[in-house]
Chain A
Amino acid sequence: MEGPRSTLNLPATLDRLHEAMAFAEQQALALGVDPSRLMGLSLAVEEAFVNICTHAYTDNQGLVTLACHTGFHEARPSFVLEIADTGPEFNPLSMAEPETDLGIEDRAVGGLGIHFIRHFSDHAHWRREDGRNILSIVLDSGPVRSQPKES
């Protein structure tokens, strides 16, 4: 069952990044996420927000919508952050994992953002709905897990 939603609309421009991160952090704290998870949440939000700013809109005129609510995931209370844009259909979670074991010469400069979203969320999924890309980042809002998941 979903709790009430808090929503923030921002222009999809990099100079609004800190507002997006602050909103997500405040909502997460208010909705029961452990403070130790906030850095990971900020990383996931930054990567998703920057992705939209960079790729979703060719005319720099679009919006990013952040919506937070409580829910349940695998029978655990959770915090859900949805990050939506109205750009062309694109599922960031379909991107391949970066090769994180290569040396300096062989490492691509980039490709880590989606890796962070996957790593720092307890669950992430994407859907296309009413012309919008909606990326959901789900964090447990109960006590911190004793064993962090593997990257």
Chain B
Amino acid sequence: MEIQTQQTGKATVVAVSGKIDAMTAPALETSVASLINDGNLCMVLDFGGVDYISSAGLRVILASAKSLKSKAGTLLLANVSGPVNEVFDISGFGSVFTIYNSVDAAVAAAG
């Protein structure tokens, strides 16, 4: 799994690629928590390069969303497709989060 972060407008875009599983999810959680602690409260998670996500990855998304919400921040998800989308669907995540077809659309929604 690889993580790349960049600032686009007011949003912090975190592009994840590879597999998010029980081995790799802690690194994602640490990265996102660190960004939140540094005051990046408008975050876009870009899943375009992710080909596998397990419940360990979903836990990180949920924990991150809760953490941001408690600080009046927001978490937007972009490029959820293919196998990741299937996992989102059966977990009910598709209805919990607003999912955007592109990073640009998510950033635009962030205002």
Stretch at the interface among A13-21, A64-72, A88-96, A137-145: A13-21
> In the complex the two chains form, is B23's CB within 8 Å of A105's CB?
no
What B residues does A110 contact at CB under 8 A?
Answer: 55, 59
What A residues does B83 contact at CB under 8 A?
Answer: 39
> In the complex the two chains form, is A42's CB within 8 Å of B55's CB?
no
What B residues does A43 contact at CB under 8 A?
Answer: 52, 54, 87
> In the complex the two chains form, is A14's CB within 8 Å of B23's CB?
yes
> In the complex the two chains form, is B91's CB within 8 Å of A103's CB?
no
Partner of A39, one of B22, B52, B63: B52
Q: Evaluate whether A107 and B55 lie within 8 angstroms (CB atoms) in the complex, with A14-B22, A119-B90 already known.
A: no
> In the complex the two chains form, is B96's CB within 8 Å of A112's CB?
no
> In the complex the two chains form, is B69's CB within 8 Å of A105's CB?
yes
What A residues does B92 contact at CB under 8 A?
Answer: 100-102
Partner of A115, one of B22, B86, B90: B90
Partner of A105, one of B54, B66, B89, B97: B66
Number of A residues contacting the other chain (C-beta, 8 Å)?
26
Partner of B91, one of A14, A21, A112: A112
C-alpha spacing A6/B65, complex, angstroms: 42
Per-residue CB proximity of A103-134 to B under 8 Å, as 1/0? 11101011011011001000000000000000
Interface residues of B in 13-70 (CB under 8 A from A): 21-23, 52, 54-56, 58-59, 62-63, 65-66, 69
Q: Does A46 contact B (CB under 8 A)?
A: yes
Partner of B69, one of A18, A104, A112: A104
**Chain A residues in the interface with B (C-beta under 8 A):** 14-15, 17-18, 21, 39, 42-43, 46-47, 50, 100-105, 107, 109-110, 112-113, 115-116, 119, 151
**Chain B residues in the interface with A (C-beta under 8 A):** 21-23, 52, 54-56, 58-59, 62-63, 65-66, 69, 83, 86-87, 89-92, 95-97
8 inter-chain pairs at a CB distance below 8 angstroms, sorted by A residue, are A100-B91, A102-B96, A104-B66, A107-B96, A116-B55, A116-B87, A116-B90, A119-B90
